[in-house]
Amino acid sequence: MKSKMRVVFEYNHLEVEWYGNNTFNVYAIDECGVRDQALDCFTNYNVKTIEQAQAASDDYIKQTYSEVA
């Protein structure tokens, strides 16, 4: 059986999910802590490690959702 890597970075009322490739999905988290539908997505072709993914996610959230982060 083939397993998939799934990594979630949490922010104030947002989650960014990374599946180990170059695409990230951004989800809104409601006041009850439940994930809503995908809010946004972004791509970073330079990401190879979890640390790079965390940095890319942090930068994207700061630039795009500065009022939430």
For CA atoms 41, 69, 15, 5, the dihedral sign is positive
Residue 2 lies in a domain: no
Residue 1 lies in a domain: no
Residue 51 lies in a domain: yes
Mean pLDDT score, 9-15: 93
CA separation for the pair 13, 29 (Å, rounded): 5
Residue 42 lies in a domain: yes
Domain that holds residue 38: 7-64
pLDDT at 69 over 80: no
Q: How confident is residue 2, by pLDDT bands cut at 50, 70 and 90?
A: low
Residue 37 lies in a domain: yes
Residue 24 lies in a domain: yes
Q: Which residue has the higher pLDDT, 42 or 66?
A: 42
Number of domains forming the structure of the chain: 1
